[in-house]
Chains A and B, each alone.
Chain A
Amino acid sequence: MHPLNRRGFLGLTAGLSVAALTGCGAAEPTSSASTPRDGGRLRAAFAGAGAKEVLDPHLANLFVEAARSKALYDKLADLGPDVSAQPRLAEKWEPDAGLTRWRITLRQAAFHNGQPVRAEDVLASYARILDPARAFRAKSSLALIDLPNSRAVDERTVEFALKRPFVEFPNVLAAFGAYIVPAGTEDFTTPVGSGPFRFVSFEPGKSVLLKRHAEYWEGAPHLDELEFVIANEESARTNALLGGQVEYAHDLTPTTARSHAAGDRMAIHRAPNSAVQAFAMKLDRPPFDNRDLREAMFLLADRAQLVESVLAGSGQVGNDLFGKGYQHYADDIPQRTRDLDKAKFLIRRAGAEGLTVKLDTSTAAAGMVEAATVFADQVKGSGLTIEVVTGNKDSYWSDTLKNGSLSSFRSGAMPIETHVAQRLLSGSGTNVTKWARPEFDALYDQAVSTVDAGRRGEVYREMQRSLHAEGGYLMWGFADWIVGAAPKVGGISTAPANTLDWARFDKVWLG
């Protein structure tokens, strides 16, 4: 039932945006967003972090940096609409039988200076990310590459040696920030990449101007020029769009989307399944070391109400599992719904009646404080009391990784395998729920060394069944990613944020 619901929803949003676009085209036949047109400058407003922004793609951290990196550079692979790795600069990949040696064939592509993208550039880029003296974001993903034993077979073939068998190696090639730069690059003041746009100018904290790279391997972009401008406040991005100062405003709130959806000055584009919204319970300490109490929490959440009130309806309910709609998602597990009576019973059985639990939250991500407040209200009358504690937003993720027993959580899109590797193994670096089970670790090892996709999928489902029954993540919803654009802008994808087609300006045109 649920995959049908999801597809129905996707189809509906796609249908709506097409309707909006054609509607606009009918009203103004001269400026149509439905037929691609070449030329023009698109100005895109993103939140930034002031003058500390950088153009080094390996340092990319913010959405604006990811979007700019994508315009200037390529990765070997990137994540498709179902968040599975798709070939990019890599034309194909072939593992050996033991899954420890991977042969990557590069496609015929060139950097903006005309130099071809060579095996040597790939190895040098990865060596830079893996430099022990530095701390690039993609480092932990790439850590399983045995670089000294990897080699360039010829100009367009790389052979990677891995430290252990890993069938999901393409996910590594698609890791956040794993961009290919020309070998030896350390100065990024005038970046040279192989992406669809060339660099023109950069004013930190203010704007970046790029222009079309006509010889892009996947075909030249529609736009002549692309300008990224920085506006940290959501209201400022909205106003700039309404006032015609920009044509694309990234990351709007559901409230803005709701109030402008019917207007003719802004088209709203929603990317479903972009961010999971959750509460994280820690399994290694009281009170949530008690399985009954965790189940009671799962049953206390009124997910539909949370989606309606916190996300203003711009999202879908979650089933305590990461990656709804992604490859390997266990959509056959029945959806949990609120069951107050059973929750009360479980709380009594856990001996937790009258217990007050602190729920740590902060404004580090949109909607977290609101969700905590609504959930605390939903728990009332169950015998359990939740006290919402708002912490410092800048150090929130690090604080809640170590401290407390219950905290707000959110995450952007990544493959389910990556989510497990980063958060749910005994040795994971960001294991906020402290889920550490040798038998689960063994299942993961089995999955990532199983070549047969069907059997591998079955192992992933088994892992998800155990997480659903006993895990520490109460994943109550999936928020849409909301982008506003001028009605004449066409070609904006609704793929989840952080995937290949998100903020993909080489496919966008000004009608």
Chain B
Amino acid sequence: MSLRRYAARRLAIGLVQVLAVVTAVFLLVQALPGDAAVALAGDNPDPQRIAQIRAAMGLDRPPLERFGDWLGGLARGDFGVSLISGRPVAEFLHDGLGPTLVLAVLALVLLVPLAVLLGVLAALREGGPVDRVVTTVTVGLHSIPEFALAVVLIALFGVQLRWLPPTAVGADLLGQPAVLVLPLVVLVARPLCSISRLVRAGMIDALASDYVRHARRLGIGVTRVRFAHALPTALAPAVQQVARTTDWLLGGVIVVEAVFVVPGLGTILVDAVAGRDLPVVQGLAVVFAVTTVVVNLVADLLVFRLAPRSVAIA
């Protein structure tokens, strides 16, 4: 099967997956106690008022009918409107995607070269002091949960020393890049370990492989062998991990968004679920599902380019 046909088939399967996710999300939100009217009424749950809110929101229509309408709209590229504010869901997604993308892209730009560099360095000095230091530091960072690291960094650099802004409250992320420093450190800290460890392991394997030894015997320079022959093979397993990390970052890392006050997709999701704002939750589910499908497809295609044998295209 050609690569193109493989990609097309994967996309078709992806479409089915997205539909399945959206349906599951719809059923799950239906299963949650209370609906948008109950959540909005809050501590003033007069049944008469809840009934009025329900009617005003159109929640008195059968759930399946509402879901069907929403799916129909989706096919035309219409995500529907928020039950609570009446604003188009597309606006919510657009507002939340900006901060999430800024964080995700910058985190990846920092993370990937750094992790590869550390992994390669450690592999080339396997068992040496550099390897040990890199291993200790990255594993140490990996063992700290995001919120704990965030709280410590904020207390130290934001509040005590006042070197960096403790939160991004009300800030324009790209206009005031200083607010991005602490969140990015927190986002990079954990994946740095998993990716650099995979690169290190892959690199050690590759360096010990027959083809690398053969290339050396052919008289190819050591640098060229390392970076043109060994490294691509070594990167293949790490690419899958980068894909998982990308997926995690694009989902809006809720803890980081909450602690640093970055109003991205994660924050919107939490608010929408708390408000039972079903169209917004479904819109986010579509975005998250599409991201997952696309990121994983891209990763597989990339691995195929790097190390054709490691992906079985059947």
**Binary contact track B183-194/A, C-beta < 8 Å → 1, others 0:** 000000000000
Q: Which of B38, B52, B167 contacts A398 (CB 8 A)?
A: B38
Asked if A245 is at the interface of the complex by the 8 Å CB criterion, the answer is yes
Asked if B20 is at the interface of the complex by the 8 Å CB criterion, the answer is no
- In the complex, chain A residues whose CB is within 8 Å of the CB of B170: 43, 206-207, 227, 229-230, 245-246
Asked if B282 is at the interface of the complex by the 8 Å CB criterion, the answer is no
| B167 with A243: CB separation less than 8 A | yes
| A140 with B34: CB separation less than 8 A | no
- In the complex, chain A residues whose CB is within 8 Å of the CB of B50: 398
Rounded to whole angstroms, the CA-CA distance of A240 and B49 in the bound complex is 37
Q: Which of B41, B45, B95, B167 contacts A204 (CB 8 A)?
A: B95
User: Which one of B158-166, B198-206, B215-223, B239-247 is at the A interface?
Assistant: B158-166
Asked if A394 is at the interface of the complex by the 8 Å CB criterion, the answer is yes
| A365 with B165: CB separation less than 8 A | no
Asked if B197 is at the interface of the complex by the 8 Å CB criterion, the answer is no
Q: Which of A52, A240, A245 contacts B84 (CB 8 A)?
A: A52
| A235 with B33: CB separation less than 8 A | no
| B46 with A430: CB separation less than 8 A | yes
| A399 with B53: CB separation less than 8 A | no
User: Which one of A121-129, A130-138, A323-331 is at the B interface?
Assistant: A130-138
Q: How far is the CB of B173 from chain A (nearest CB, A)?
A: 11
| A398 with B45: CB separation less than 8 A | yes
Rounded to whole angstroms, the CA-CA distance of A327 and B4 in the bound complex is 77
- In the complex, chain B residues whose CB is within 8 Å of the CB of A365: 43
Complex A-B, nearest 3 residue pairs according to Cβ-Cβ distance, in ascending order: A395-B34, A429-B46, A50-B271
Asked if A233 is at the interface of the complex by the 8 Å CB criterion, the answer is yes
- In the complex, chain B residues whose CB is within 8 Å of the CB of A133: 55-56
User: Which one of B100-108, B226-234, B256-264, B296-304 is at the A interface?
Assistant: B256-264
Asked if B47 is at the interface of the complex by the 8 Å CB criterion, the answer is yes
Q: Which of B42, B85, B95, B169 contacts A397 (CB 8 A)?
A: B42
| A50 with B41: CB separation less than 8 A | no
Given contacts A135-B53, A140-B46, A239-B154, contact A206 B263 (CB under 8 A): yes
Asked if A453 is at the interface of the complex by the 8 Å CB criterion, the answer is no
- In the complex, chain A residues whose CB is within 8 Å of the CB of B56: 133-135
Rounded to whole angstroms, the CA-CA distance of A246 and B171 in the bound complex is 11
| A240 with B53: CB separation less than 8 A | no
- In the complex, chain A residues whose CB is within 8 Å of the CB of B260: 236
- In the complex, chain B residues whose CB is within 8 Å of the CB of A231: 167, 169, 261
For chain B, the count of residues having a C-beta within 8 Å of the partner chain is 54
For B82, B166, B169, the residue with the greatest tally of chain A CB atoms inside 10 Å of its CB is: B169
Given contacts A51-B95, A429-B48, contact A233 B267 (CB under 8 A): no
| Dominant secondary structure of chain B at its interface with chain A | helix
Q: How many A-B residue pairs have CB under 8 A?
A: 159
Given contacts A139-B52, A245-B167, A429-B46, 6 further A-B contacts (CB under 8 A): A134-B56, A205-B267, A205-B268, A236-B169, A243-B165, A397-B43
Query: What are 16 A-B pairs with beta-carbon distances under 8 A?
Result: A50-B263, A61-B42, A204-B85, A229-B261, A230-B169, A239-B159, A240-B261, A245-B165, A245-B167, A245-B169, A394-B32, A394-B38, A394-B39, A395-B32, A397-B44, A398-B41
Asked if A392 is at the interface of the complex by the 8 Å CB criterion, the answer is yes
Asked if A255 is at the interface of the complex by the 8 Å CB criterion, the answer is no
Asked if A242 is at the interface of the complex by the 8 Å CB criterion, the answer is yes
Asked if B251 is at the interface of the complex by the 8 Å CB criterion, the answer is no
| B82 with A230: CB separation less than 8 A | no
Q: How far is the CB of B45 from chain A (nearest CB, A)?
A: 4
Asked if A232 is at the interface of the complex by the 8 Å CB criterion, the answer is yes
Rounded to whole angstroms, the CA-CA distance of A50 and B263 in the bound complex is 7
| A50 with B272: CB separation less than 8 A | yes
Asked if A49 is at the interface of the complex by the 8 Å CB criterion, the answer is yes
| B32 with A392: CB separation less than 8 A | yes
| B43 with A364: CB separation less than 8 A | yes
Rounded to whole angstroms, the CA-CA distance of A51 and B91 in the bound complex is 9
- In the complex, chain A residues whose CB is within 8 Å of the CB of B39: 394-395
Asked if A411 is at the interface of the complex by the 8 Å CB criterion, the answer is yes
Asked if A161 is at the interface of the complex by the 8 Å CB criterion, the answer is no
Residue ID in chain A nearest B164 by CB atoms: A243
Asked if B274 is at the interface of the complex by the 8 Å CB criterion, the answer is yes
Asked if B151 is at the interface of the complex by the 8 Å CB criterion, the answer is yes
Residue ID in chain B nearest A394 by CB atoms: B39
Rounded to whole angstroms, the CA-CA distance of A24 and B259 in the bound complex is 30
For chain A, the count of residues having a C-beta within 8 Å of the partner chain is 52
| A51 with B169: CB separation less than 8 A | no
Rounded to whole angstroms, the CA-CA distance of A364 and B44 in the bound complex is 13
Within 8 A of B (CB), among A211-257: 227, 229-233, 235-237, 239-240, 242-246
Rounded to whole angstroms, the CA-CA distance of A430 and B50 in the bound complex is 11
Q: How far is the CB of A399 from chain B (nearest CB, A)?
A: 7
Given contacts A232-B258, A240-B261, contact A139 B49 (CB under 8 A): yes
Q: How far is the CB of A60 from chain B (nearest CB, A)?
A: 12
| B167 with A236: CB separation less than 8 A | yes
Asked if A443 is at the interface of the complex by the 8 Å CB criterion, the answer is no
Given contacts A51-B92, A231-B261, contact A401 B45 (CB under 8 A): yes
For A230, A395, A401, the residue with the greatest tally of chain B CB atoms inside 10 Å of its CB is: A395
Rounded to whole angstroms, the CA-CA distance of A203 and B268 in the bound complex is 14
**Binary contact track A54-68/B, C-beta < 8 Å → 1, others 0:** 100000010000000
Residue ID in chain A nearest B85 by CB atoms: A52
Rounded to whole angstroms, the CA-CA distance of A133 and B272 in the bound complex is 24
| B33 with A392: CB separation less than 8 A | yes
For B32, B49, B159, B167, the residue with the greatest tally of chain A CB atoms inside 10 Å of its CB is: B167
| B258 with A233: CB separation less than 8 A | yes
Asked if B40 is at the interface of the complex by the 8 Å CB criterion, the answer is yes
Q: How far is the CB of B152 from chain A (nearest CB, A)?
A: 12
Rounded to whole angstroms, the CA-CA distance of A92 and B184 in the bound complex is 57
Q: How far is the CB of A138 from chain B (nearest CB, A)?
A: 11
- In the complex, chain A residues whose CB is within 8 Å of the CB of B48: 140, 429
- In the complex, chain A residues whose CB is within 8 Å of the CB of B84: 52
| B261 with A51: CB separation less than 8 A | no
For B49, B55, B91, B170, the residue with the greatest tally of chain A CB atoms inside 10 Å of its CB is: B170
| B263 with A236: CB separation less than 8 A | no
- In the complex, chain A residues whose CB is within 8 Å of the CB of B80: none
- In the complex, chain A residues whose CB is within 8 Å of the CB of B280: 52
Residue ID in chain A nearest B82 by CB atoms: A52
Asked if A158 is at the interface of the complex by the 8 Å CB criterion, the answer is no
Asked if A45 is at the interface of the complex by the 8 Å CB criterion, the answer is yes
| B45 with A397: CB separation less than 8 A | yes
- In the complex, chain A residues whose CB is within 8 Å of the CB of B258: 232-233, 236
Asked if A53 is at the interface of the complex by the 8 Å CB criterion, the answer is yes
Given contacts A134-B56, A394-B276, contact A205 B169 (CB under 8 A): no
Asked if B119 is at the interface of the complex by the 8 Å CB criterion, the answer is no
Rounded to whole angstroms, the CA-CA distance of A365 and B42 in the bound complex is 11
